[in-house]
Amino acid sequence: MATAVLIVPPFIKYSAGPLLGPARCCNLPQRRMVTSVPSLDLNALFIQPRASPRTKHGAFVGDHNKPTGPQSLAHVERTFLTDHLLPCFGSEAASDSMRRVKFGFLDHADVHQAATKLASSSFGDWARRHMSSQSPPQLTGISILHAGQVVPAVATSILARQLWPDTLVVWGGPHVSGLGDTIPVDIRKRSFAADVFVTGHAEQTFTKLLDRLASGDSILERNAVPIHLQGKSGPAVPPIFDNLAIYDEPLTLPAQSTLGCAFGKCAFCTYPAIEPVPAKLPLLVSVGSVVDTAHSLGASVSIKDSLATPLRLKEIAGCVQGRVPWSACTKLSRKFDVDTLNQLRDGGLATLEVGLKSLLPDTQLRLGKLQPLPLYEKFLRNVAEVPDLTLVVNYMTHFPWEDDERSLGGLQEARELLLTHFGQRGTVEHNTFELERLSPIARDPTRYGVKDIKSWPWGSVLEYSTDNK
């Protein structure tokens, strides 16, 4: 049988439970009796002794249920960056280095040199000790959520090759998918990072790689050029969770009922390029199994659908049946009347996250996501009538065509309306626009006032300028 380990490198500001992608990859080959695949969440292991403990469910269930206090996740992230990562970049200004690292604005030499230093540092010694606890794997999978993990991920690859010279290093995850077709363009230059890069859904590809290793196929000759594989979704499998003691209590377990986005039209989003056709998964397999586990552990469930429609939320509520508190993300809809919201709350929905993005009419029109102010106000009034249901509103500012005053004015209006209706039961999550290389805006930049675009080989986000900035 082939052997493997799945590693999550730091830093992700999340410690409430395991990540969905690695948990799925861990389960699929085990169900086929091919191999045992443990996970090694270095991110959670780094956070655990440093962050304030989260000992109860907070007001917000899901991704927003984070430790509070002086040792917040943001504080631990700063510690990781300033004490371990930034010193690997020499004497550059700290603020400039932090921005470059977080967004992946680094060339191949930058990444390789910094990662080599990190692998030989005290952090590298710490990671090596944890990795040494694993049996030598034939495949080392590394899951990457965002650009800020790239240098630690390369350091992990370096350590894996030192510890297990014959291992096949495979990179996957949302950030790798966000790099898209840039990977094969200069894949020879990426050989220091991995032997295989998987974009898209990695579960089936991961299993096929293990099958090939189990059959004696070396896949890659030593010193060969890395390969790029386009992953494809397969039959739904429930995630499997291990090493749960390293996460906060009470746990939050991830589940997903739909692949892709049910809306999929936002001009700033990568879903149209990466997952253009949404597909519903069987609820008993994809959600019901997670709910069963969460119920036995006293955990909550975070539904990872990019956008759950009112109908899908009702179906999820029927599956959960109030056994555990859960969260989900959606967009504004007239279908969210009081009766529907009460039905969802009775089914266990505890936190509803809404992708408002903007209240500015011209911005909504450019984005292709019309959610007028009266609809937002009506939605707030309806949710306010539902006891014990908390609300998170996602708002984005500084789109290329917006001036700062109007942009921040819309944010302030969204906050004031939420405070009026909810008080502490609601919060606005403020995000700043980033130009994703696979988004419709990046494909037609002049239409959106974007110019002077600069790309970096390890960044899914592009640098740019506008007439406003």
In angstroms, the CA 28 to CA 51 distance is 32
Structural contact between residues 428 and 393, judged by C-beta atoms closer than 8 angstroms = yes
**pLDDT under 50 in the chain at which residues?**
33
Give the span between the Cα atoms of 399 and 229, in whole angstroms: 33
Query: Residue 112's pLDDT is what?
Result: 97
pLDDT at 70: 81
Residue 136 CB coordination number (10 Å): 14
How many residues in the chain? 469
Is 443 among the domain residues? yes
Task: Record the pTM.
Answer: 0.94
Q: Is 226 in the same domain as 255?
A: no
First-to-last C-alpha distance (Å) of the chain: 57
**199 and 283 in a common domain:** no
Q: How high is the pLDDT of residue 36?
A: 64
Which residue range forms the structural domain that includes residue 146? 4-230
Alpha carbons 415 and 170: distance in angstroms, whole number: 43
Domain termination residue (choose one: 230, 262, 290): 230
Residue 237's pLDDT is what?
Answer: 80
Q: Please give the Cα distance from 428 to 445 (Å, whole number).
A: 28
Same domain, 19 and 102: yes
By the 8 A CB rule, do 49 and 82 touch? no
**Which SS3 state, helix, strand or coil, does residue 7 take?**
strand
| 184 and 221 fall within a common domain | yes
Residue tagged 């505890």 (tokens): 350
Residues 84 and 161 in one domain: yes
pLDDT at 33: 47
What single-letter DSSP state applies at residue 146?
S
Where a domain ends, among 198, 230, 262? Answer: 230
For residue 419, being part of any structural domain is answered with yes
Domain check: are 53 and 189 in the same one? yes
Question: Quick one: 10 and 68 in the same domain?
Answer: yes
Residues 16 and 129 placed together within one structural domain of the fold:
yes
Distance between CA atoms of residues 411 and 404, nearest Å: 11
Contacting residues for 51 by C-beta, under 8 A, at least 6 apart: 15, 67, 71, 72, 73, 75, 76
The residues facing 258 across adjacent strands are 280
Query: How many domains does the chain divide into?
Result: 2
244 located within any domain: no
245 in a structural domain: no
For 221, counting Cβ atoms within 10 Å of its Cβ (0-12 exposed, 13-18 middle, 19+ buried), the class is exposed
Bridge partner residues of 141 (DSSP): 6, 170
Q: What is the pLDDT of residue 423?
A: 83
Any idea what the CATH number is for the domain that residue 434 is in? 3.20.20.70
**Residue 205 and residue 258 in one domain:** no
Same domain for 391 and 459, yes or no, is: yes
Is residue 461 a contact partner of residue 435, using CB atoms and an 8 Å limit?
yes
